Amino acid sequence: MKHSSQDLVVYPNGILKHTVIINAEVICEINLFNYPFAEDECDITIQAWKNDGCGMWMDIGNLEMVPGSNGDWRTENVTLAYRSTFQNDIKVKLVISVMNPFITLLLPSILIMMLDIGSFAMPLGGGERNSFKVTLVLSFTLFLNILNNQLPGDSSCAPIIRIHFCVCLVLLVVSMLASMLLTSVAHNGGFIACCRSKDKYQKNNKKQTEEEDEGEKDSDEPKPDITVVQLSSSEDTEILRKVAKFLEGIKERDKWDEKNMKIANMLDKIFVSIYTVLTVGYFCAMLGVMVNHKCQMNYYN
């Protein structure tokens, strides 16, 4: 506080009139529930001392706002909420600049979720999709660790953007697990890895190998280096039967793989549709809550 002038005005009834300039720093608790779309009012009460008719009377004239900003916050307007000779209440409205926190916080989460939805265009056959989704989850987790100390702190109305990041991480993990399960369906025909067809195919090959080994063991006579064997019609038929059986096994395996791939692609399309609608609906709802919903906070508790 400093004197506006060195003059004092003394009235006949004993009242003194003096003008002073008060520079005060005020600490206000700001409601950050809607961060980064937060705005709030800071209540400032200026009270004069008075006791049994003796003391000071305060007369505040017109309020003038000096434009200014501090970081992402700027002063929107100043109003005199209550006026009296003893107490005056001033409301200062503070608004955050949306551009910087939107670019650094919300936009990366939106882009990562868009990449996750776009990754469903990758084929199920290879492991590229699963690798890409794992990379997205790890990248988003690293992004949250970097921003952990930069996000607004907890209060009676905690910033809803923390919940937003948690929901995004859950959606990414669900998408990754679904992609892994669908890949298992495409390769094994079920959500749990099983190799029945493969085992059956291996058993047939093993059986054929054992039959050939037994045929070689039956002949104890030494064989020359070069032999010419004329096959009978029965032996020729047996060889053709084995070749046909082998080709039928390959054909059955291809049909089985094609059937599994069709089922996996159908489930994949259904999941993509549900996941896209759920993600877009969530973002619209969350942005609506951030912009419109107001959390009631008791500043005087």
Query: How do residues 241-278 score in pLDDT, each as one tens digit?
Result: 777 777 777 777 777 777 878 888 888 899 999 999 99
133 and 232 housed in the same domain = yes
Q: Is 205 a residue whose pLDDT tops 60?
A: no
Strand-pairing partners, residue 286, are none
Whether 249 is covered by a domain: the verdict is yes
Instruction: In whole angstroms, give the CA distance from residue 47 to residue 89.
Output: 9
pLDDT digits (tens, 9 = 90+) for 175-197: 999 998 888 887 776 655 544 44
Q: What is the mean pLDDT of residues 199-228?
A: 50
Which among 48, 75, 97 is the end of a domain? 97
6 and 155 housed in the same domain = no
Whether 92 is covered by a domain: the verdict is yes
11 and 79 housed in the same domain = yes
Question: pLDDT-based confidence at 70, cuts 50/70/90?
Answer: low
Q: What is the mean pLDDT of residues 190-211?
A: 50
91 and 134 housed in the same domain = no
Answer yes or no: are the C-beta atoms of 34 and 106 closer than 8 Å: no
Q: Is 109 a residue whose pLDDT tops 80?
A: yes
Whether 67 is covered by a domain: the verdict is yes
180 and 297 housed in the same domain = yes
Instruction: In whole angstroms, give the CA distance from residue 142 to residue 16.
Output: 65
Q: Which domain holds residue 200?
A: 98-215+228-301
Torsion, CA 10, CA 15, CA 18, CA 24, rounded to 10: 170
pLDDT at residue 219 in the model: 47
pLDDT at residue 194 in the model: 46
Which among 97, 120, 136 is the end of a domain? 97
Q: How many domains does one find in the chain?
A: 2
Which among 65, 97, 129 is the end of a domain? 97
Torsion, CA 58, CA 60, CA 66, CA 72, rounded to 10: 60
Whether 223 is covered by a domain: the verdict is no
Q: Which of 87, 3, 7 is nearest to 49 (CA)?
A: 87
